[in-house]
């Protein structure tokens, strides 16, 4: 597949997280063809229940006026959960590019119902990262999506 430089940045974030002992999910925020924000899941690193990758990337932007968010595209290596989806809807981000949704199908239908453009790349690296992670550390993954480990 053709490399998408913004998804590659999100993947780089995911790998940074993995290297630090975290959950390998990354995100980037792009405005006018430039990466303006980025981040990765910080559950382990910050003992955080809210710093999913998308939230970290949004937080890296600091405070922005409403119009700012309406001009960005959010890249994330994994389909966004209901919390991250809610943040996307709050700030009316018009376009979300998703690495993969086979490991976890987030609230893509809710995004679309609100008029958000959703692009799923089905990127093999995104999928393989999560599969390898879940195989070795299933309890972390389940904690991250608020599910009791089966």
Q: Could you list the active site residues?
A: 54
Shortest reach from residue 110's CB to its own copies, in Å: 8
Task: Kindly state the number of chain residues that form the binding site for its own copies, as judged by CB under 8 A.
Answer: 34
Say whether residue 108 binds its own copies (CB under 8 A). no
Q: How far apart are the first and last CA of the chain?
A: 35
Of 132, 82, 135, give the one whose Cα is nearest residue 111: 82
Secondary structure letter of residue 77 according to DSSP? E
Of the candidate residues 76, 85, 101, 103, the single one contacting its own copies (CB under 8 A): 85
Compute φ and ψ for 72, nearest 5 degrees: -115, 160
Say whether residue 62 binds its own copies (CB under 8 A). yes
**104: helix, coil or strand?**
coil
Which neighbouring-strand residues pair with 72? Answer: 31
Shortest reach from residue 90's CB to its own copies, in Å: 4
Q: Catalog residues that contact its own copies under the rule CB under 8 A.
A: 43, 47-50, 55, 58-59, 61-67, 69, 81-87, 89-92, 107, 142-143, 145-148
């Amino acid at each position: 597949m053709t490399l998408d430089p913004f998804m590659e940045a999100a993947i780089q974030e995911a790998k940074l997280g993995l290297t630090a002992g975290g959950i390998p999910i990354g995100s980037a925020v792009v405005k006018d063809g430039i990466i303006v924000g980025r981040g990765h899941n910080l559950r382990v690193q910050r003992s955080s229940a809210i710093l999913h990758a998308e939230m970290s990337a949004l937080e890296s932007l600091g405070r922005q006026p409403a119009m700012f968010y309406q001009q960005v595209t959010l890249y994330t290596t994994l389909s966004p959960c209901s919390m991250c989806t809610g943040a996307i809807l709050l700030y009316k981000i018009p376009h979300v590019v998703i690495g993969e949704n086979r490991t976890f199908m987030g609230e893509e239908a809710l995004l679309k119902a609100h008029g958000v453009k959703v692009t799923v790349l089905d990127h093999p690296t995104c999928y393989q990262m999560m599969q390898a992670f879940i195989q070795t550390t299933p309890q972390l993954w389940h904690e991250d999506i608020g599910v009791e480990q089966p």
